[in-house]
Amino acid sequence: MAMNTGLVYDPLYLEHDTGAHVENSQRLVETVKVLQDSGLMNRLALISPRPASIEELCLVHTEYHTGHVQRAASKGGEWLDGDTYCSPESFTVALHAAGGVLRGVDAIMNKEVANAFALVRPPGHHATPDQAMGFCLFNNIAVAAKYARAGFGLTRILIADFDVHHGNGTEEVFYEDPSVFYFSTHQYPHYPGTGAITDQGSGEGRGTTLNIPLPAGCGDAEYLRAYREILVPLAQRFKPELILVSAGYDLHWADPLSGMQLTVDGLAEIVGIIKGLADELCGGRLLLTLEGGYHLKALAYSIKATLEVLLGGPRSADPLGKPQVTYMPAKIDHIFERLSRDLA
Protein backbone atom coordinates (compact mmCIF):
# COMPACT_ATOMS: atom_id res chain seq x y z
CA MET A 1 0.00 0.00 0.00
CA ALA A 2 1.43 3.35 -1.03
CA MET A 3 1.78 5.71 1.91
CA ASN A 4 2.94 8.78 0.05
CA THR A 5 0.97 11.84 -1.03
CA GLY A 6 0.90 12.82 -4.68
CA LEU A 7 0.99 16.35 -6.10
CA VAL A 8 -0.30 16.94 -9.62
CA TYR A 9 1.51 19.97 -11.02
CA ASP A 10 3.13 21.28 -14.18
CA PRO A 11 4.41 24.79 -15.05
CA LEU A 12 2.10 24.55 -18.08
CA TYR A 13 -0.69 25.66 -15.74
CA LEU A 14 0.88 29.12 -15.62
CA GLU A 15 0.21 29.59 -19.36
CA HIS A 16 -3.54 30.11 -18.91
CA ASP A 17 -2.93 33.86 -19.16
CA THR A 18 -5.70 35.88 -17.51
CA GLY A 19 -3.69 39.10 -17.10
CA ALA A 20 -4.76 41.13 -14.06
CA HIS A 21 -7.72 38.83 -13.36
CA VAL A 22 -7.97 37.65 -9.74
CA GLU A 23 -7.64 34.03 -10.96
CA ASN A 24 -4.11 34.33 -12.33
CA SER A 25 -0.90 32.31 -12.51
CA GLN A 26 0.58 33.93 -9.37
CA ARG A 27 -1.76 31.71 -7.35
CA LEU A 28 0.33 28.69 -8.32
CA VAL A 29 3.68 30.50 -8.43
CA GLU A 30 3.25 31.59 -4.79
CA THR A 31 2.05 28.17 -3.68
CA VAL A 32 4.93 26.31 -5.32
CA LYS A 33 7.41 28.76 -3.75
CA VAL A 34 6.01 28.13 -0.26
CA LEU A 35 6.09 24.36 -0.79
CA GLN A 36 9.68 24.49 -2.06
CA ASP A 37 10.97 26.93 0.58
CA SER A 38 9.46 24.82 3.39
CA GLY A 39 10.96 21.58 2.06
CA LEU A 40 7.51 20.06 1.78
CA MET A 41 7.81 19.64 -1.99
CA ASN A 42 10.56 17.05 -1.47
CA ARG A 43 8.16 14.85 0.51
CA LEU A 44 5.55 14.67 -2.26
CA ALA A 45 5.33 12.28 -5.22
CA LEU A 46 5.09 14.52 -8.28
CA ILE A 47 2.41 13.40 -10.73
CA SER A 48 2.76 14.80 -14.25
CA PRO A 49 -0.52 15.64 -15.95
CA ARG A 50 -1.63 14.47 -19.35
CA PRO A 51 -4.23 16.11 -21.58
CA ALA A 52 -7.77 14.83 -21.13
CA SER A 53 -9.20 13.56 -24.39
CA ILE A 54 -12.30 15.13 -25.92
CA GLU A 55 -14.07 11.82 -25.24
CA GLU A 56 -13.18 12.12 -21.55
CA LEU A 57 -14.39 15.73 -21.40
CA CYS A 58 -17.60 14.63 -23.11
CA LEU A 59 -18.35 12.32 -20.20
CA VAL A 60 -19.55 15.66 -18.74
CA HIS A 61 -19.52 18.33 -21.44
CA THR A 62 -21.25 18.73 -24.79
CA GLU A 63 -19.14 18.59 -27.92
CA TYR A 64 -20.37 22.10 -28.67
CA HIS A 65 -18.89 23.38 -25.41
CA THR A 66 -15.48 21.75 -25.87
CA GLY A 67 -15.40 23.07 -29.44
CA HIS A 68 -16.42 26.55 -28.31
CA VAL A 69 -13.49 26.77 -25.86
CA GLN A 70 -11.11 25.41 -28.49
CA ARG A 71 -12.29 27.95 -31.07
CA ALA A 72 -12.02 30.84 -28.60
CA ALA A 73 -8.39 29.90 -27.85
CA SER A 74 -7.48 29.38 -31.50
CA LYS A 75 -8.83 32.85 -32.37
CA GLY A 76 -6.36 34.37 -29.90
CA GLY A 77 -8.58 34.34 -26.82
CA GLU A 78 -11.83 35.96 -25.73
CA TRP A 79 -14.14 36.41 -22.76
CA LEU A 80 -16.47 33.41 -22.50
CA ASP A 81 -18.66 35.22 -19.99
CA GLY A 82 -18.31 38.31 -17.81
CA ASP A 83 -15.89 36.57 -15.44
CA THR A 84 -14.18 33.91 -17.52
CA TYR A 85 -11.30 34.56 -19.92
CA CYS A 86 -9.89 32.15 -22.48
CA SER A 87 -6.35 33.01 -23.62
CA PRO A 88 -4.58 31.50 -26.67
CA GLU A 89 -3.11 28.71 -24.49
CA SER A 90 -6.16 28.17 -22.29
CA PHE A 91 -7.66 25.23 -24.18
CA THR A 92 -4.42 23.24 -23.97
CA VAL A 93 -3.96 24.18 -20.31
CA ALA A 94 -7.56 23.29 -19.46
CA LEU A 95 -7.14 19.86 -21.10
CA HIS A 96 -4.14 19.31 -18.81
CA ALA A 97 -6.05 20.59 -15.75
CA ALA A 98 -8.81 18.02 -16.30
CA GLY A 99 -6.27 15.40 -17.37
CA GLY A 100 -4.11 16.13 -14.36
CA VAL A 101 -7.02 15.29 -12.07
CA LEU A 102 -7.53 12.06 -14.06
CA ARG A 103 -3.87 11.19 -13.50
CA GLY A 104 -4.52 11.74 -9.80
CA VAL A 105 -7.43 9.28 -9.93
CA ASP A 106 -5.23 6.71 -11.68
CA ALA A 107 -2.40 7.11 -9.16
CA ILE A 108 -4.76 6.62 -6.21
CA MET A 109 -6.79 3.75 -7.68
CA ASN A 110 -3.61 1.97 -8.81
CA LYS A 111 -2.09 2.47 -5.32
CA GLU A 112 0.87 4.48 -6.59
CA VAL A 113 0.02 7.05 -3.91
CA ALA A 114 -2.24 6.97 -0.85
CA ASN A 115 -3.90 10.32 -1.63
CA ALA A 116 -3.21 13.34 -3.82
CA PHE A 117 -3.70 17.06 -4.37
CA ALA A 118 -4.13 18.44 -7.89
CA LEU A 119 -2.55 21.91 -8.02
CA VAL A 120 -4.21 22.83 -11.29
CA ARG A 121 -5.82 25.77 -13.04
CA PRO A 122 -8.14 26.84 -14.52
CA PRO A 123 -10.54 25.71 -11.79
CA GLY A 124 -13.67 23.76 -12.66
CA HIS A 125 -16.68 23.49 -10.37
CA HIS A 126 -18.78 26.27 -11.96
CA ALA A 127 -18.48 24.88 -15.51
CA THR A 128 -21.75 23.27 -16.61
CA PRO A 129 -22.10 20.67 -19.37
CA ASP A 130 -22.53 23.41 -21.99
CA GLN A 131 -21.09 26.60 -20.47
CA ALA A 132 -17.86 28.07 -19.09
CA MET A 133 -18.46 30.36 -16.13
CA GLY A 134 -17.01 31.58 -12.85
CA PHE A 135 -13.36 31.38 -14.04
CA CYS A 136 -13.95 27.70 -15.00
CA LEU A 137 -13.60 26.21 -18.50
CA PHE A 138 -14.13 22.48 -17.90
CA ASN A 139 -15.44 20.82 -14.75
CA ASN A 140 -12.32 18.98 -13.62
CA ILE A 141 -13.87 17.23 -10.62
CA ALA A 142 -17.00 16.12 -12.48
CA VAL A 143 -14.90 14.67 -15.31
CA ALA A 144 -12.79 12.86 -12.68
CA ALA A 145 -15.86 11.34 -11.01
CA LYS A 146 -17.28 10.11 -14.32
CA TYR A 147 -13.85 8.78 -15.32
CA ALA A 148 -13.40 6.94 -12.01
CA ARG A 149 -16.81 5.34 -12.40
CA ALA A 150 -16.22 4.32 -16.03
CA GLY A 151 -12.60 3.22 -15.66
CA PHE A 152 -12.63 1.57 -12.25
CA GLY A 153 -16.23 0.41 -11.94
CA LEU A 154 -16.96 2.52 -8.87
CA THR A 155 -20.61 2.81 -7.86
CA ARG A 156 -20.39 5.32 -4.97
CA ILE A 157 -18.29 8.49 -5.17
CA LEU A 158 -18.51 11.35 -2.68
CA ILE A 159 -17.67 14.89 -3.82
CA ALA A 160 -17.18 17.37 -0.98
CA ASP A 161 -16.93 21.04 -1.99
CA PHE A 162 -15.72 23.59 0.58
CA ASP A 163 -15.12 26.47 -1.85
CA VAL A 164 -16.88 29.64 -0.64
CA HIS A 165 -18.94 29.56 -3.85
CA HIS A 166 -21.46 26.83 -4.62
CA GLY A 167 -20.30 24.38 -7.29
CA ASN A 168 -23.34 24.80 -9.50
CA GLY A 169 -21.78 22.94 -12.42
CA THR A 170 -20.90 19.87 -10.36
CA GLU A 171 -24.35 19.81 -8.79
CA GLU A 172 -26.02 20.04 -12.21
CA VAL A 173 -24.00 17.15 -13.64
CA PHE A 174 -24.92 14.76 -10.80
CA TYR A 175 -28.33 16.09 -9.72
CA GLU A 176 -30.18 12.96 -10.93
CA ASP A 177 -27.27 10.53 -10.39
CA PRO A 178 -27.47 8.34 -7.25
CA SER A 179 -23.89 7.05 -7.69
CA VAL A 180 -22.30 10.43 -6.91
CA PHE A 181 -23.11 12.24 -3.66
CA TYR A 182 -22.47 15.99 -3.93
CA PHE A 183 -22.01 17.80 -0.60
CA SER A 184 -21.37 21.55 -0.52
CA THR A 185 -20.80 24.18 2.15
CA HIS A 186 -20.92 27.71 0.73
CA GLN A 187 -21.67 31.35 1.45
CA TYR A 188 -25.30 32.08 0.65
CA PRO A 189 -26.58 34.17 -0.95
CA HIS A 190 -23.43 34.66 -3.01
CA TYR A 191 -22.20 33.93 -6.54
CA PRO A 192 -23.55 32.00 -8.46
CA GLY A 193 -26.81 32.14 -6.50
CA THR A 194 -27.43 28.38 -6.46
CA GLY A 195 -27.15 25.85 -3.63
CA ALA A 196 -30.34 26.32 -1.64
CA ILE A 197 -30.98 24.00 1.28
CA THR A 198 -34.03 22.61 -0.55
CA ASP A 199 -31.95 21.44 -3.54
CA GLN A 200 -31.36 17.78 -2.72
CA GLY A 201 -31.29 16.05 -6.10
CA SER A 202 -34.14 14.71 -8.20
CA GLY A 203 -35.35 11.45 -9.70
CA GLU A 204 -33.04 8.57 -8.82
CA GLY A 205 -30.60 11.14 -7.44
CA ARG A 206 -33.05 12.44 -4.83
CA GLY A 207 -31.16 12.63 -1.54
CA THR A 208 -27.64 12.48 -3.02
CA THR A 209 -27.17 16.25 -3.16
CA LEU A 210 -26.81 18.12 0.11
CA ASN A 211 -26.25 21.86 0.36
CA ILE A 212 -25.33 23.73 3.51
CA PRO A 213 -25.89 27.40 2.62
CA LEU A 214 -24.15 29.49 5.28
CA PRO A 215 -24.46 33.22 5.95
CA ALA A 216 -21.47 35.53 5.62
CA GLY A 217 -19.42 35.81 8.80
CA CYS A 218 -19.12 32.09 9.53
CA GLY A 219 -15.74 30.90 10.70
CA ASP A 220 -13.92 27.78 11.83
CA ALA A 221 -16.51 26.77 14.46
CA GLU A 222 -19.49 26.93 12.11
CA TYR A 223 -17.74 25.10 9.28
CA LEU A 224 -16.32 22.38 11.52
CA ARG A 225 -19.81 21.85 12.89
CA ALA A 226 -21.09 21.34 9.32
CA TYR A 227 -18.43 18.75 8.54
CA ARG A 228 -18.62 16.91 11.89
CA GLU A 229 -22.39 16.91 12.38
CA ILE A 230 -23.59 16.55 8.79
CA LEU A 231 -20.87 15.21 6.48
CA VAL A 232 -19.50 12.52 8.80
CA PRO A 233 -22.77 10.61 9.38
CA LEU A 234 -23.84 11.20 5.78
CA ALA A 235 -20.61 9.72 4.42
CA GLN A 236 -20.78 6.79 6.85
CA ARG A 237 -24.26 6.02 5.51
CA PHE A 238 -23.30 6.46 1.82
CA LYS A 239 -20.05 4.42 2.12
CA PRO A 240 -18.10 5.99 -0.77
CA GLU A 241 -15.42 4.03 -2.61
CA LEU A 242 -13.55 7.25 -3.46
CA ILE A 243 -13.72 10.77 -2.05
CA LEU A 244 -13.09 13.76 -4.33
CA VAL A 245 -12.82 17.30 -2.97
CA SER A 246 -13.32 20.66 -4.66
CA ALA A 247 -10.80 22.49 -2.48
CA GLY A 248 -11.48 26.21 -2.68
CA TYR A 249 -9.55 28.33 -0.22
CA ASP A 250 -11.55 31.52 -0.76
CA LEU A 251 -13.38 30.99 2.54
CA HIS A 252 -10.25 32.23 4.35
CA TRP A 253 -10.83 35.48 6.25
CA ALA A 254 -8.27 37.38 4.14
CA ASP A 255 -9.80 36.41 0.79
CA PRO A 256 -11.06 39.36 -1.28
CA LEU A 257 -13.99 37.44 -2.81
CA SER A 258 -15.74 36.16 0.29
CA GLY A 259 -17.28 37.17 3.57
CA MET A 260 -16.22 34.11 5.55
CA GLN A 261 -13.82 34.06 8.48
CA LEU A 262 -11.90 30.78 8.33
CA THR A 263 -8.25 30.40 9.31
CA VAL A 264 -5.56 28.19 7.78
CA ASP A 265 -5.89 25.98 10.88
CA GLY A 266 -9.65 25.69 10.38
CA LEU A 267 -9.22 24.74 6.75
CA ALA A 268 -6.67 22.10 7.73
CA GLU A 269 -9.14 20.69 10.26
CA ILE A 270 -11.81 20.37 7.55
CA VAL A 271 -9.33 18.44 5.41
CA GLY A 272 -8.51 16.31 8.45
CA ILE A 273 -12.16 15.36 8.91
CA ILE A 274 -12.45 14.39 5.24
CA LYS A 275 -9.19 12.42 5.36
CA GLY A 276 -10.50 10.59 8.42
CA LEU A 277 -13.59 9.59 6.46
CA ALA A 278 -11.46 8.39 3.53
CA ASP A 279 -9.29 6.33 5.89
CA GLU A 280 -12.36 4.85 7.58
CA LEU A 281 -14.55 4.21 4.56
CA CYS A 282 -12.52 3.75 1.36
CA GLY A 283 -8.97 2.71 2.11
CA GLY A 284 -7.75 6.31 2.27
CA ARG A 285 -8.63 7.02 -1.37
CA LEU A 286 -8.83 10.82 -1.40
CA LEU A 287 -8.15 13.33 -4.18
CA LEU A 288 -8.41 17.09 -3.76
CA THR A 289 -8.35 19.52 -6.65
CA LEU A 290 -7.84 23.26 -6.43
CA GLU A 291 -10.81 25.53 -7.07
CA GLY A 292 -10.80 29.08 -5.64
CA GLY A 293 -8.54 31.05 -3.28
CA TYR A 294 -7.45 34.54 -4.25
CA HIS A 295 -5.36 35.90 -1.37
CA LEU A 296 -1.95 34.60 -2.40
CA LYS A 297 -0.45 34.06 1.04
CA ALA A 298 -3.64 32.56 2.49
CA LEU A 299 -3.94 30.25 -0.50
CA ALA A 300 -0.33 29.07 -0.42
CA TYR A 301 -0.28 28.37 3.32
CA SER A 302 -3.72 26.73 3.26
CA ILE A 303 -2.52 24.33 0.55
CA LYS A 304 0.67 23.70 2.53
CA ALA A 305 -1.42 22.88 5.61
CA THR A 306 -3.67 20.63 3.51
CA LEU A 307 -0.65 18.68 2.25
CA GLU A 308 0.70 18.35 5.80
CA VAL A 309 -2.63 16.78 6.79
CA LEU A 310 -2.54 14.43 3.80
CA LEU A 311 0.99 13.38 4.75
CA GLY A 312 -0.18 12.64 8.28
CA GLY A 313 1.19 15.70 10.09
CA PRO A 314 2.70 17.44 11.97
CA ARG A 315 1.36 20.84 10.90
CA SER A 316 3.34 24.05 10.97
CA ALA A 317 2.07 27.28 12.54
CA ASP A 318 -0.56 29.38 10.75
CA PRO A 319 1.30 32.54 9.63
CA LEU A 320 -1.88 34.57 9.08
CA GLY A 321 -3.58 33.77 12.38
CA LYS A 322 -7.07 34.82 13.38
CA PRO A 323 -9.28 37.27 11.47
CA GLN A 324 -8.41 40.93 11.97
CA VAL A 325 -12.10 41.81 12.17
CA THR A 326 -14.64 39.34 13.46
CA TYR A 327 -18.35 39.48 12.84
CA MET A 328 -21.06 38.61 15.30
CA PRO A 329 -21.48 34.84 15.38
CA ALA A 330 -23.86 33.89 12.59
CA LYS A 331 -27.15 32.31 13.64
CA ILE A 332 -27.02 28.90 12.00
CA ASP A 333 -28.80 26.56 14.44
CA HIS A 334 -31.91 26.54 12.22
CA ILE A 335 -29.86 25.30 9.27
CA PHE A 336 -28.51 22.35 11.23
CA GLU A 337 -31.87 21.54 12.78
CA ARG A 338 -33.45 21.41 9.35
CA LEU A 339 -30.67 19.27 7.84
CA SER A 340 -30.74 16.92 10.83
CA ARG A 341 -34.49 16.45 10.28
CA ASP A 342 -33.95 15.79 6.57
CA LEU A 343 -31.21 13.25 7.32
CA ALA A 344 -33.15 11.44 10.03
Task: Report the pLDDT value the prediction gives residue 340, as an integer from 0 to 100.
Answer: 86
Annotated catalytic residue, options 68, 126, 165, 190:
126
* pTM for the full predicted model: 0.98
Mean pLDDT calculated for residue range 301-324? 95
Catalytic residue flag (residue 126)? yes
Q: Taking 70 as the threshold, does the pLDDT of residue 140 lie above it?
A: yes
- Residue 244, φ and ψ in degrees, nearest 5: -110, 145
Reported as a single tens digit per residue, the pLDDT across 151-166 is 999 999 999 999 999 9
Q: Can you tell me whether residue 211 is helix, strand or coil?
A: strand
Q: Taking 50 as the threshold, does the pLDDT of residue 1 lie above it?
A: no
Residues in the chain: 344
Mean pLDDT calculated for residue range 2-8? 86
Q: Taking 70 as the threshold, does the pLDDT of residue 330 lie above it?
A: no
Reported as a single tens digit per residue, the pLDDT across 14-58 is 999 999 999 999 999 999 999 999 999 999 999 999 999 999 999
CATH 3.30.420.40 is the classification of domain 5-343: no
Binned at pLDDT 50, 70 and 90, residue 328 comes out as: low
Pair 288, 242: CB distance under 8 Å: no
Mean pLDDT calculated for residue range 54-77? 98
Residue 245 CB partners (closer than 8 Å, separation 6+)? 141, 159, 160, 161, 162, 271, 274, 286, 287, 288, 289
> Could you tell me the CA-to-CA distances from 130 to 58, 59, 127, 343 in Å, in that order?
10, 12, 8, 32
Angle (CA) 139-166-268 rounded to 5° is 90
Mean pLDDT calculated for residue range 266-294? 98
Report which secondary-structure segment, H or E, holds 174: helix 168-174
Domain residue ranges in the chain? 5-343
Reported as a single tens digit per residue, the pLDDT across 171-222 is 999 999 999 999 999 999 999 999 999 999 999 999 999 999 999 999 999 9
One-letter amino acid identity for 172? E
Task: Report the pLDDT value the prediction gives residue 327, as an integer from 0 to 100.
Answer: 65
Taking phi first (over 0 means left), then psi (-120 to 50 degrees means alpha), and beta for anything else, what does residue 193 get? left
Q: Taking 90 as the threshold, does the pLDDT of residue 146 lie above it?
A: yes
Extended strands (E) in 200-252: 209-214, 242-247
